[in-house]
């Protein structure tokens, strides 16, 4: 049986792809991970922290991950400071003021 990613492997994927800001959310997810579910991938999509997991038969855990994704949209993916969604170099990201040099669109400035 595929055991999926360990907490440390998931932290490493997020640290390499986005930064340090969401690592406490990764820790929370593993704290709340039901025993029979494994996480296959941790990644950023449209500025939010997302996880692939299996089996996908636990609606409460799926809802919980949606909530984590929503929380990640207010946390700078690089440093963990309060943040907003924005587009930088064509990518939707979630960054604080310090880490948003080069933004072309921000959710607080339509």
- Residue 72 touching Zn ion (CB under 5 A): no
Least separation, in Å, of the C-beta of 80 and Zn ion? 7
Least separation, in Å, of the C-beta of 83 and Zn ion? 6
Which position's Cβ is nearest Zn ion? 76
- Residue 78 touching Zn ion (CB under 5 A): yes
Which residue is associated with the tokens 């400035």? 109
Which residue is associated with the tokens 């960054």? 95
Q: Whole-angstrom Cα distance, residue 26 to residue 80?
A: 12
CB 25 within 8 A of CB 74: no
Q: Name the DSSP class of 33.
A: -
Q: Which of 79, 87, 103, 106 binds Zn ion (CB under 5 A)?
A: 79
- Residue 99 touching Zn ion (CB under 5 A): yes
Q: Whole-angstrom Cα distance, residue 47 to residue 72?
A: 8
- Residue 81 touching Zn ion (CB under 5 A): yes
Which residue is associated with the tokens 């593993």? 30
Structure tokens at 73: 């949209």
Least separation, in Å, of the C-beta of 101 and Zn ion? 11
5 vs 25, beta carbon nearer Zn ion: 25
- Segment contacting Zn ion by CB under 5 A, of 4-12, 33-41, 44-52, 74-82: 74-82
């Amino acid at each position: 049986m595929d055991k999926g990613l360990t907490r440390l492997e998931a932290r490493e994927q997020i640290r390499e792809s986005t930064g340090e800001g969401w690592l406490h959310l990764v820790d929370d997810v593993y704290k709340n991970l039901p025993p029979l579910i494994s996480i296959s991938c941790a990644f950023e999509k449209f500025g939010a922290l997302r996880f692939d997991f299996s089996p996908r038969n636990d609606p409460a855990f799926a809802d919980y991950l949606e909530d984590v994704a929503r929380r990640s949209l207010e946390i700078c993916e690089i440093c963990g400071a309060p943040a907003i969604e924005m587009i930088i170099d064509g990518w939707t990201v979630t960054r604080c003021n310090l880490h948003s040099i080069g933004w072309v669109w921000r959710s607080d400035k339509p």
